[in-house]
Amino acid sequence: MKVAILTTDLRDDHRRYSELEPSFGTAPTALLQGLARTKGCEVHVVSCVQQPVASPVKILENLFYHSIHVRKRGWLRGAYLGCILGVRKKLQEIGPDLVHGQGTERYCALSAAFSGFPNVVTIHGNMRRVAQVNHARPFTFDWLAAQLEAITIPRAGGVICLSAHTQRMVSPTARRTWIVPNAVDQTFFEIPRSQTAGVPVLLCVGHIGLLKNQLALIRALDPLAAELPFELRFLGAVTRGEPTEIEFPGLLKDRPWCTHAGFADRATLRRHLAEAYALVHPSLEENCPMVVLEAMAAGLPVAASRVGGIPDLIEPGATGLLFDPESDADIRESVRKLLADPALAVQLGRQGLAQAHARFDGEAVASEHLRIYHELLSTNPNLR
């Protein structure tokens, strides 16, 4: 089977056009790792870039890469028409059996749906829901992405949902759906636990903004900080243009138990996971957050919001703890349980790791994707 995976090249996101090797998001990378270990599957990764980049023809034995230079007017403000046309032309050269678009945030899913080939799309972030939670103004990025997502879903051959939460949202308009969680990069399963006997570190990872709800977490833990010793360590860039840009530094200033280590790449995140006592994830909306999966793969206990797709990942009291992100008391009680009972924290971490091995291993997730590809082609061989 020949499959084309449409995903973003992070060199374009970060404007690092001089780098010689492509770089993909965490979830697509883990899926590609799994597909690379699968026999009988030829994978072609296709990415659009705003400036020409070096493009290795072959990444691995059965994994090929294609970059498409699309000029500025062909991106978001042009409804990604330049990307759609460029991808369509490249796919005609490749001749895949099926096209898989990764994410409705940008051009990938849209280009897959309009590719002219049998196709599926994966929703990583529910952009219509994100736009709603963020109160997105017309013609902002979130607002535009939400409109394009609404166009994409009914036109795709099928939608791979990372959670039941997403499946419920798209089922009314999608032709067909499947649920498959994200895959986790194998290196996260290999993180050595190096936590010392010092002050427990509670890790909170994500862009600092309204959606991720860090301000509420700080305020919820204020009373607990007066009772128990811990460090609440934030990883992530501050979202510009939101009230958090000013409020977040102000809250940290008077709270020595809160620290901000800034943006973390994957290697830096692994180091912090190795040192941490637990992960706390207080988001207001999520589909299948990678940091929760990665923390579980690292054997770290997780306390997270009871929203979106997170309850699909965590069995309360068995593989982690869930709380209401809009209840200070509920947030505080979950964190208190972890800090006051180290044995419980260790148990949750171990059982979370077992769950991660069973459900989020790259090869297992890739096998499930191949099953879906075969199912779609066997039941709809002429689907366009």
Q: What is the pLDDT of residues 132-148, one digit of tens each?
A: 888 889 999 889 999 99
Give the Å distances, CA to CA, from 338 to 12, 82, 216: 40, 50, 19
Q: In the prediction, which pLDDT does 195 show?
A: 60
Mean predicted confidence (pLDDT) in 8-27: 90
Query: Which of 32-46, 123-137, 216-230 is the most confident on average?
Result: 216-230
pLDDT over 80 (residue 380): no
Mean predicted confidence (pLDDT) in 188-194: 86
Q: What is the pLDDT of residues 110-125, one digit of tens each?
A: 999 999 999 999 999 8
Q: In the prediction, which pLDDT does 14 show?
A: 85
Query: Residue 63: how many CA atoms within 13 Å on its side-chain side?
Result: 16
Q: Are 258 and 252 in contact (CB under 8 A)?
A: yes
Q: In whole numbers, what is the pLDDT of the chain averaged over residues?
A: 93
Query: Residue 131: how many CA atoms within 13 Å on its side-chain side?
Result: 20
Q: Give all strands of the β-sheet with 63-69 in edge-to-edge order.
A: 58-60, 63-69, 42-49, 2-6, 98-102, 119-123, 159-161, 177-179
Our CA angle for 169, 170, 174, nearest 5°, is: 165
Give the Å distances, CA to CA, from 261 to 59, 101, 219, 241: 33, 33, 19, 20
Q: In the prediction, which pLDDT does 214 show?
A: 97
pLDDT-derived band of residue 241, with 50, 70 and 90 as boundaries? confident
Q: Transcribe 115-138 into DSSP letters.
A: SSS-EEEEESS-HHHHHHHTTPPT
Question: How many of the other CB atoms lie within 10 Å of CB of 253?
Answer: 9
Give rounded-to-5 percent helix, strand, coil for the chain.
Answer: 45, 20, 40
Q: What is the pLDDT of residues 34-53, one digit of tens each?
A: 898 877 799 999 999 999 99
pLDDT over 70 (residue 194): no
| Continuous segment of H or E residues that includes residue 101 | strand 98-102
Q: Are 149 and 128 in contact (CB under 8 A)?
A: yes
Catalogue all structural domains in the chain, each as residue range(s) with its CATH number: 2-183+362-379 (3.40.50.2000), 186-359 (3.40.50.2000)
Buried b (16+ CB within 10 A) or exposed e, 104-126: bbbbbbbbbbbbebbbbbbbbbb
Question: How many of the other CB atoms lie within 10 Å of CB of 252?
Answer: 17
How many residues comprise the chain? 384
- Give 20's contacts (C-beta < 8 A, 6+ positions apart): 54, 56
User: Quick one: what percent of the chain has pLDDT higher than 90?
Assistant: 80
Q: What is the pLDDT of residues 154-163, one digit of tens each?
A: 999 999 999 9
Mean predicted confidence (pLDDT) in 266-287: 95
Q: In the prediction, which pLDDT does 384 show?
A: 47
Q: Transcribe 170-239 into DSSP letters.
A: HTTT-S-EEE-PPPB-GGGGGPPP---SSSPEEEEES-BSTTTTHHHHHHHHHHHHTTS--EEEEESPBP
Mean predicted confidence (pLDDT) in 194-205: 84
Pairing of the two strands 159-161 and 258-260 = unpaired
Amino acid code (one letter) for 48: C
Q: What is the pLDDT of residues 306-339, one digit of tens each?
A: 999 999 999 999 999 999 999 999 999 999 999 9
User: Quick one: what percent of the chain has pLDDT higher than 70?
Assistant: 98
Q: In the prediction, which pLDDT does 193 show?
A: 75
Mean predicted confidence (pLDDT) in 202-210: 95
Q: What is the pLDDT of residues 57-113, one digit of tens each?
A: 898 889 999 999 999 999 998 999 999 999 999 999 999 999 999 999 999 999 999
pLDDT over 90 (residue 279): yes
Q: What is the pLDDT of residues 55-67, one digit of tens each?
A: 888 988 899 999 9
